[in-house]
Every structure is written in structure tokens, then in C-alpha cells.
Structure 1
Amino acid sequence: MKKLLLKITFVLFSCFLTSVIHAEENENIIKLSVTEPKIDRYVEVLNIPGIFVAKNEVSIGSPLQQQMVTAVFVEEGQWVEKNQLLATLESPLQTASVMQLKAETEKATAYIQQQKVLAEQSQKELTRLSALANKGVISTNDFEKAKSETLAKKAELEASRAELRQLNAQLAREQSQEDKSKIIAPVSGVISERHAMNGTLSDNTLLFKIIENNEIEFEANAHLSELSQINHSSDVKVKDYTNKELSGVIRFISSKIDTYSQLGKIRVSLTDKHNHRIGEMGVMVYTQQPQQRMTLPYSAIRTEANGIRNIFIVNHDRRIEIQPVDIGSVHNGRVEILSPLSTDIKVVAYAQAFLSQGDLVVPMKDIQ
């Protein structure tokens, strides 16, 4: 009887110990919410600030020195045609030089006409004397003297003609310089700046600026990381300060960037009609092609003190495995996972600081 009681007591005690051990084990098991990597369709949008600029702005000045502005015929904001007269300059010395050369040219021309008449008369007289010399009416010496006089008059006439050609060349040069005093529009467009004022001297200063054909486009400075994502001839939107959208096409992407800022220029041709002015600010909106990316809730990432980012995977034995990952951009609470990762794994949804490699857990499906 005693033996039976001892056996019963031993069995009961064993059951008690087993239940205590199981209870202690259950107390060490952590219940955690888990999630799975998800493939999201993602469209990245780049917003790059910039300003409205002239596609081609032409600066106009005068190469002449000490030229005074005598008249200005256009105003800022006015449309002008190619070869239209914008302003006139005048130099008293230049004008006096042209007038003097004109007078000398006219005088030389009149003198040549006089010499020409004398040379023709001398030639006629020589012809008459030649016939008389052949008949012996006049001496050979008289004929040779007349012949020498005729040749001298011809030589004098040619010298005067050469001098006239030289005067004409000088006059042409001076008149060419005088023509430069007329400021002509090299292109059609709108006057964006007018610096010419009556009575001021040109002296190689800027007189006008013209926006060629009044073409305005948008210029933005993008970082190198953004430039690598942008394609030439892509369609974009440009938002002005009122948040109104304009359609455009990327016309130019700079082939070089600033050494210090790492910024490069982008030019956008605007296809919509608008009345924006140079210097107005705006934002270029560049929408990339949709891409599929693997993501996890950002809460599933734990960043260690050394900067390494880890996720906690629950394996088939319900044990924690720590795996380092590289991450990308964050959107709507989810982070892009750049490291290779299977989509059928269970990842702890909230990376707790107390989790360690090999911890035993009870995974619970998270709704994320």
C-alpha cells in the first residue's frame, strides 16, 4: 500500500514539475506581429525649383568710343523687328571728318574733270602737230616738245585719279564708322532692357537687351543625383507662383556640373501659352516612369549605433534571424528595400530594441 502511494505521489510530482517547466518556457516566448515584403508600384516625382528665363537674350552695344546717344526710338517691353533702328549715336569729330573728306573728294573730282579736258585738248593738238611734222611744216623739236606736254598732262590726270581713289577709300571707311553709330536690332524680339539715354556716351557700354522672338523658358538647377534620373526630351510640368501648371519639354541638360554645389542646369521649353516674365520663380515637376519596388514598413527597420540597418526574420523554427539590409526612399510609412529579399518570409513588423539573434517568438500576422 505504501509503495502504491509512493508511486502515485511521484507521478503527481512529475506532472507538476513538467507543468512548471512549460509555464516557464511559455513565459520566455515573445509574441510579435510579423509582416511580409510587398512589391509596390511606385512613381517617383522630382520637384526642382527654378526661374523663368529668356531662351536667347541678345546684348546690344556700340564698338565706337566717345559716341553720344542722340536719339532713342524704342522702349523696354516693346516688340522690334530685325534691322529696326533702335537708337542713333553721334561724334562731332567723326561727323567733321566725313564732311571734310566729302569736300576734298568733290574738289578732287572737279580738278580731275578740268585735267581731263586739258589732256584731251593736248592730245588733239598733238595729233594736229603730228600731221604738220610729217609734212615738214614744223620742226621735230617743236613736235617732241608738244608730245612731252601731252604725256605730262596724262600722267598728272592719272595721279589725280589715284589721289581721288585714295580719298574715296578714306571716305568709305569714315562713313562705315558713321554707319556704326546707327544701333540696329540684330534679331526680332522684345526689348528686355534699355540702358541708352539721350546725351550719354556709349563707350562700349550695354545699350539694349532683346529677348529673341520673346521666347521664355524655364531653368532649374538640379543636383547630380537628380540629373541622373532625368531624360532629355521628357515631358514635364512647371508650376508658377500661383500653382498653375504649364506643360513643357526638357530641351537641355547641362553636360557639366558645378564643382562645389554639384548642380547642373536644365532648360525646359514651354509648350503652353503664357505671359510669365524673366525672373519669376517656379518649380519643375518631373514624373518618372512607374517602377516596382520591394518595400517593408519603416518600423521593421532597426538602425544600429554603427549605422547598419537590420530586419528581424522569423524562421521556420520560430527563431529570430537578424539580416542587414540596404534601404532606399521612404513613402507613406514604407521603405524601399534595395537588398535581395524573398517575398515569402516573415519579418517582425516592429523592430524592438530587445530582440536578439535566436530569440524564440510566436509570430502574429500584422495588418500592414
Structure 2
Amino acid sequence: MYFKQIFRLLLCALFLTACQDQQNNNEQTTHSLMKVNVVPVQTIDWARTVSLSGNVVAKEDVAISTALQGLQVLEVKVDVGDWVEKGQVLAVLEQSNVQSQVMQNEANLNRAKANLTAQQATLNEAEATLKRYQQLAKSEAISRMEVDQQKAKTQTAKASVQAVQAEIAQIQAQLTDNKHQRKKAQVVATVSGVVTKRTVEAGALTGSSALFNIAQNGELEIQAEVGADELKLLSVGLNSTIIADNAPLASGQIRLISPEMDSTSRLSKIRIRLNEPLKTAIGRYVQANIQLPVRQVKTSLPFTAISFDNNGKAFAKLVDLQGKVQNRPLEIGAIYQGMIEVLSGVEIGELAVQQAGAFVDEGDIVEPVNTANKGNK
């Protein structure tokens, strides 16, 4: 009986020793595994921004020119930056030739009117004489020949009056044209707004090019250039923040997307309407940051977790539940703020080695450390 108890105690001691050795071996195995930071495949919302280079321009740029070419500019009344009202005189052209024609035609008109008065008096006299002759002819006091002669004189007087009236109409038409040409010698604003450009100086001769440019109603907006890749992402109404000299300048929305693309630069143009009036120089360089609609990306990884093989194919080092590393081929999409869209190859919740350049190879057993859980603690 005594020996049986001793034997049982020895068996218990051996069992406890074996268990302790197994626990020590497990702890030693665990401590010997390499700890590797991993990140989960996750769904994220992308609020992307497209940044474009642009300039401040007039919303409606109105060119002011003159139909009179080769005339000397006598006076320029406005300068760049001035506010002008519709109909305001901007410049005065030399008009001595036109003025002399106006004066000459006015004199001709006065002479013709005086001649008309005289011819009308002759006609009135001839008609009165004809009536008297016709009465006398009834009593045979005068001959029929004398009556016919007076009729002829009356018709001649009527023709003279009509000729003078036609002359007066012609002179009046010439005078109207002269005055119109004289009015053209004053270059006037066709709209109200701010003068943005002036290409004329006193003493210069007028040509076919515009003398002034006016921003109608003083409204300014942004014109930006956009490439084909960004163009397909944009739509009218998207919000934009305007940056100048590294500071916010204004905000607005896309008003117009040009359907035309430059054949050389392969760039198109967009116009951004501003939410508030902008007081700055035309042509000022700005940056337009356009907020694209939020897009949900179902599966994504940090770009640092992506590797590329010799053929340029993307893959990631995934770690399974047993800590085993596996190289997984991926199909990737867009990149945004350090994250990359994974179109195929992974599932939500799978773990990938955070740094693709980590010293782990396919088949290695590692201890994964989820950095996402670290950040939540």
C-alpha cells in the first residue's frame, strides 16, 4: 500500500513536469516569431479633390472698337480699372473732316430750303394766274392759246418745286450720315462695367482692333485648364475653393465646361462662378480645388502595403489566421491620400503586411500586430 502511494506521487510529478515543459516550449515558440505590423482591408469613403491652375477673367468681356479707321485719337477719357456707365464717352477721335461735311451740308440744306420757298411762291402765282385765265376764257376775254401757255408755266413751276424737294431730301440724308459719322468719332461704352484693357493712346490712329475691353457689370470669375483624365470627373455645379498666394481667395461652382479641347496642349477649359464679388487683378494666377462627389471604395489598402513584381503586377503580402504570409496578386485602381483602391484579390477584414518592403517572404510564420487596433486603443 505504501509503495502504491509513492508510485502515484511519482506519476503526478512526471505529469506536471511534462506540462510545464510543454508550456515553456509554447511560450518559447511564441516569443521567437517575428512581430509584423498589419493593416486590414477596409471600406472607405473618398472625398477627392482635383486641383487645377487658372486665372481671374471677366465673366463677360466686351470689346469696344470703332468703325472709323485711320482717324487720330484726340483724347482718352478712361483708364484700366475705371468704372464706366453704358453710353459714357471713352475716347474722342479727330472729326474735322466730318464736321466740315456737316457744316457744308447744313449750308446746302438752308440754300435748298430758300430755293424751295421761292419755287413754291412761283408755283402759287402760276396757279392763281391760271385760275384767272380760265375765268376770262369763259367770257372769251383771252384766247385758248394764252390759257394753254399758262398751264404750261404752272406745270413747270410744279416740276421745279418737286426737284427742289428731292434735292432737300438728298441733302438731309447726307447730313444725317455726316452726323452719324460724327457721333462715331466719340467712342462710347456699350455696357456698364470695369475697364480691363486699354490699347489706345492720344495721338494714335484707329485700326481694326479693339480700343478697350470692359468686364460687363464688373463680374469676374475663374478660368482653369483641365486635362482629359480630370475632365471626365467634372460636372457643372461642383463646388470649388479658389487659392491665391497659398491663402483662400474665394469659393464658387463650376458654371461651364468647354466641349472643345486644344489640339496641341490637349487641355480643355472650365469657368467657375464665384459666390461673392471679387476685387482683384484680371489675369491673376490662382489654384482651383474642386471637390468631387464622395465615392465609396469597397476594398482598399494603404499604398505602402502594395508591392510590384518584375512584370509590374501588383500584389500584397497577406497574413492568415495562423500567421502565415501569402503573396496575393491584386488588381488596383485609383490612389487617394495614401490609400489605393483594390478592385479584386482581397476581401474585407483580411490582413496585409503594412510595409511591403518588410523582411518577410511568402510562407513565413509571423506574429501579426494589427495597427488599426493600436490606433483604437
- TM interval, shorter chain, is 0.7 to 0.9
For residues 62 and 190 of structure 2, what CA distance do their matches in structure 1 show?
8
Which one of 305, 311, 328 corresponds to residue 300 of structure 1? Answer: 305
For residues 192 and 319 of structure 1, what CA distance do their matches in structure 2 show?
66
Instruction: Tell me the residue number matched to 1:337.
Output: 342
Letter in 1 for 2:365: V
Distance change in 2, residues 1:242/1:313 (3 Å): closer
Query: Which stretch of the first structure deviates more once superposed, 313-322 or 164-173?
Result: 313-322
Instruction: Tell me the residue number matched to 2:58.
Output: 54
Distance change in 2, residues 1:304/1:260 (3 Å): farther
Q: Is the 8 A contact 1:30 1:361 kept in 2?
A: no
Distance change in 2, residues 1:76/1:316 (3 Å): closer
Deviation at 1:31, TM superposition (A): 5.5
Whether 2:365 is the aligned partner of 1:362: answer yes
Equivalent position SS for 1:326 = strand
Superposed, 1:90-239 pairs within 5 Å as 90-239=94-243
Equivalent position SS for 2:235 = coil
Deviation at 1:262, TM superposition (A): 2.6
For residues 273 and 163 of structure 1, what CA distance do their matches in structure 2 show?
57
Q: Is the 8 A contact 1:314 1:321 kept in 2?
A: no
Tell me how large the CA RMSD over aligned residues is. Answer: 2.6
Whether 2:248 is the aligned partner of 1:251: answer no
Deviation at 1:216, TM superposition (A): 1.2
For residues 354 and 149 of structure 2, what CA distance do their matches in structure 1 show?
127
Letter in 2 for 1:338: L
Q: Is the 8 A contact 1:32 1:362 kept in 2?
A: no
Query: Which stretch of the first structure deviates more once superposed, 197-206 or 276-285?
Result: 197-206
For residues 360 and 163 of structure 1, what CA distance do their matches in structure 2 show?
111
Q: Is the 8 A contact 2:330 2:342 kept in 1?
A: no
Deviation at 1:67, TM superposition (A): 1.8
Deviation at 1:242, TM superposition (A): 5.2
Deviation at 1:316, TM superposition (A): 7.2
Gaps of 5+ in 1: 1-25
For residues 201 and 351 of structure 1, what CA distance do their matches in structure 2 show?
71
For residues 35 and 66 of structure 1, what CA distance do their matches in structure 2 show?
76
For residues 363 and 59 of structure 1, what CA distance do their matches in structure 2 show?
73
Q: Is the 8 A contact 1:69 1:201 kept in 2?
A: yes
Equivalent position SS for 2:261 = coil
For residues 189 and 138 of structure 1, what CA distance do their matches in structure 2 show?
80
Deviation at 1:37, TM superposition (A): 1.0
Deviation at 1:127, TM superposition (A): 0.6
Distance change in 2, residues 1:55/1:162 (3 Å): same
Query: Which stretch of the first structure deviates more once superposed, 173-182 or 207-216?
Result: 173-182
Deviation at 1:76, TM superposition (A): 2.6
Gaps of 5+ in 2: 1-28, 372-377
Deviation at 1:62, TM superposition (A): 0.9
For residues 333 and 255 of structure 2, what CA distance do their matches in structure 1 show?
33
Q: 1:306-351 CA deviation, whole Å, 9 max, x = no partner?
A: 221122445678473542322421524x432233531143434444
For residues 341 and 353 of structure 1, what CA distance do their matches in structure 2 show?
20
Equivalent position SS for 2:131 = helix
For residues 109 and 169 of structure 1, what CA distance do their matches in structure 2 show?
14
Distance change in 2, residues 1:331/1:203 (3 Å): closer
State the percentage of identical aligned residues. 28
Distance change in 2, residues 1:204/1:353 (3 Å): same
Distance change in 2, residues 1:110/1:346 (3 Å): same
Query: Which stretch of the first structure deviates more once superposed, 129-138 or 310-319?
Result: 310-319
Q: Is the 8 A contact 2:91 2:187 kept in 1?
A: yes
Deviation at 1:60, TM superposition (A): 1.0
Q: Is the 8 A contact 1:31 1:361 kept in 2?
A: no
Distance change in 2, residues 1:138/1:117 (3 Å): same
Which one of 334, 342, 348 corresponds to residue 328 of structure 1? Answer: 334
Instruction: Tell me the residue number matched to 1:8.
Output: none
Whether 2:283 is the aligned partner of 1:286: answer no
Q: 1:273-322 CA deviation, whole Å, 9 max, x = no partner?
A: 43211121221122223333222233332212222112244567847354
How many pairs does the alignment contain?
338
Equivalent position SS for 2:344 = coil
Equivalent position SS for 1:40 = strand
Which one of 263, 268, 271 corresponds to residue 267 of structure 1? Answer: 271
Whether 2:70 is the aligned partner of 1:71: answer no
Q: Is the 8 A contact 2:48 2:336 kept in 1?
A: no
For residues 303 and 321 of structure 2, what CA distance do their matches in structure 1 show?
24
Q: Is the 8 A contact 1:67 1:90 kept in 2?
A: yes
Distance change in 2, residues 1:352/1:281 (3 Å): closer
For residues 188 and 211 of structure 1, what CA distance do their matches in structure 2 show?
8
Q: Is the 8 A contact 2:317 2:325 kept in 1?
A: no
Letter in 1 for 2:287: V
Instruction: Tell me the residue number matched to 2:19.
Output: none
Superposed, 1:4-19 pairs within 5 Å as none
